[in-house]
Amino acid sequence: MIDDEESNGSNPSDSEMDCNEDNASITDKSSFTSKNGLKLPTGISISSKSQCCVCRIQMVPPTVTIQKEDRSIIFIRRNIFIPKGSRCCEIHTSNGYLLREDFFKLTAYKDDYRIFNLNYIVNTMQKLRKMVNSNKNVDFDDPLSLSGIEYKNLTGFTRTRHDRVLSYIPASALKTSINRSPRCAIACLLMKLRLTMSNSVVASMLGIDNKRKVTDIIHSTSAALVKYFVPHYLGLAHINREKIIKKHTSSIATRLLTETYVQKTMICFSAPMRTRFPSFSEASFFMVLFSI
């Protein structure tokens, strides 16, 4: 995912740039320069609080505001400008960002010319340069780089399941480094388990320059999962005695372990088994005990 670089110094804020773009009035479409910036032909998406900018139907809550990162990437890759504050249905997003399939479903509502502030163009070029320089064969940090099928083929997990596992791991357990993010670290372990590839192959696929770093990533990720994720689903650390009795005990088990009559019957059956047939007196004793 491309990190938005905040404007500083003489650069205008994002809200100021959006304001300049929205208030721009274009009278001469034959000229591509103006005193306010550069006039460019671009597609413009629907901007409405009630209509989805992806599927263009009436939205039903909950809805999601298109993230600034998604707006930038769509403008760079598809030349579609999404006005600030545009919203979409929640089903088109995962963890707040557009899904890859819905990224390509979004189409321009109309084609027009827009005046873009020069600082906005410079920032966009910086994002494009960063996107090209950080491009890897497999990038799990970019929600648009892999389709749902590709994601599952590589890791065995859907993106939603991956997000759920990641939610259990605190930021201090898997720190972000130049080699990998926490999401990429978990994906590295899942790929190793699913595809049984060598560490050198995994390193090549994920853009890691040393196979030993893959070994370190796998070890640290395994330790984090064992400490923070496994206890929630394996063993009894995630549950207490009262919850077991109330929600996980069958009616027959409750009767056998609580009723007085049944307890005496259980004492009868807890007597040691004998290999020989009991005598008449012993048999009479067991019959009397069973009837107590």
H runs (alpha helix) in 147-259: 148-155, 159-167, 182-195, 199-206, 211-228, 241-247, 251-258
| pLDDT on residue 112 | 87
| pLDDT on residue 32 | 62
pTM: 0.49
For residue 146, give both structure tokens: 């892999």
In tens, the pLDDT along 7-52 reads 333 333 444 444 444 433 333 444 566 666 788 889 999 888 889 9
* Residues of the chain under the 50 pLDDT cut: 1-30, 262-263, 270, 275, 277, 280, 283-292
| pLDDT on residue 169 | 92
| pLDDT on residue 6 | 35
Give every CB contact of residue 11 below 8 A, 6+ residues apart in sequence: 119, 123
In tens, the pLDDT along 244-254 reads 778 877 877 77
| pLDDT on residue 218 | 93
CA distances from 166 to 64, 98, 148, 181 (A): 21, 18, 17, 11
